């Protein structure tokens, strides 16, 4: 591994660790709490004064709506799939399986961080919940919302798209991330920092060691050899 690559990894790790401790160490999470509170009540009050917005928040946090984010990621992935030949298709399958394994493992590791943080809809007694305002069953609360697992999955997808398909793919994946991660914050199922601090810090540390070293390529190459190929 080149020295410049190692320096990049260490810098990303330092950034992730500093980001986490800037939230974890200060009493009541320092300035982050004020930002979290402002963002939460900004959206929460809008749901009360604008019923259409409450319906939008409820629908975009309905469990079935998660399928839409999977479709969006799948369509982006397919846009690169269709440009490849049979060998490229098989390698993309290996990349996809590697991405899924990486997301599951990193998500499990992230939830081992010794932080128990209930969502703002449970923390604030005067919070309004999208499900109650609209009657639509929706994810608008969590007893342990840190780090944001939904946001983390979307971040990992964006990282893999950057690593294996380039900058344009990364930008498109970032758009998908913002579109589908923000509804959780709007509903109050997650604090803003569950994603901006929790998910991001875990991804900065974990994905840097996985994607900027031969680690992910080794697993992709192994799966590319071992996964069954379609018979001609």
Mean pLDDT of 125-152: 92
- pLDDT tens, 86-96? 999 999 999 99
- pLDDT tens, 196-219? 999 999 999 999 999 999 999 999
Angle, vertex CA 156, rays to CA 54 and CA 215, nearest 5: 170
Domains of the chain: 3-226 (1.20.144)
Looking at residue 1, its pLDDT comes to 67
Looking at residue 111, its pLDDT comes to 86
Which stretch of DSSP H or E encloses residue 201?
A: helix 200-211
| pLDDT beyond 80 at 232 | no
- pLDDT tens, 145-164? 999 999 999 999 999 999 99
Evaluate whether 111 touches 147 at the Cβ level (below 8 Å).
yes
Mean pLDDT of 106-126: 91
- pLDDT tens, 62-74? 888 889 999 999 9
Q: Characterize 76-110 residue by residue with b for buried, 16 or more Cβ atoms within 10 angstroms of its Cβ, and e for exposed.
A: bbeebeeeeeeeeebbbbbbbebbeebbeebbeeb
Give this prediction's pTM: 0.93
- pLDDT tens, 175-192? 999 999 999 999 999 999
């Amino acid at each position: 591994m080149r020295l410049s690559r190692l320096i990049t990894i260490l810098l990303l790790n330092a950034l992730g660790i500093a980001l986490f401790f800037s939230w974890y160490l200060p009493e009541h999470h320092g300035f982050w709490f004020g930002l979290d509170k402002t963002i939460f009540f900004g959206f929460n009050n809008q749901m009360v004064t604008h019923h259409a917005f409450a319906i939008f928040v409820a629908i975009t946090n309905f469990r079935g709506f998660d399928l839409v984010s999977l479709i969006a990621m799948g369509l982006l992935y397919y846009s690169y799939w269709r440009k490849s030949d049979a060998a490229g298709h098989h390698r993309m399958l290996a990349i996809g399986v590697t991405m899924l394994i990486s997301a599951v493992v990193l998500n499990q590791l992230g939830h081992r961080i010794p932080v128990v943080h209930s969502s703002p809809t449970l923390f604030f007694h005067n919070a309004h919940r999208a499900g109650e305002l609209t009657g639509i069953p929706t994810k608008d609360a969590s007893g342990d919302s840190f780090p944001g697992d939904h946001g983390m999955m979307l971040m990992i997808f964006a990282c893999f798209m950057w690593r294996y398909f380039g900058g344009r793919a990364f930008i498109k994946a970032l758009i998908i991330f913002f579109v589908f991660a923000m509804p959780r914050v709007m509903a109050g199922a997650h604090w803003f920092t569950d994603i901006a601090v929790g998910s991001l810090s875990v991804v900065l540390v974990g994905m840097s060691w996985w994607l900027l070293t031969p680690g992910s390529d080794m697993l992709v190459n192994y799966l590319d050899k071992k996964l069954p190929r379609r018979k001609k």
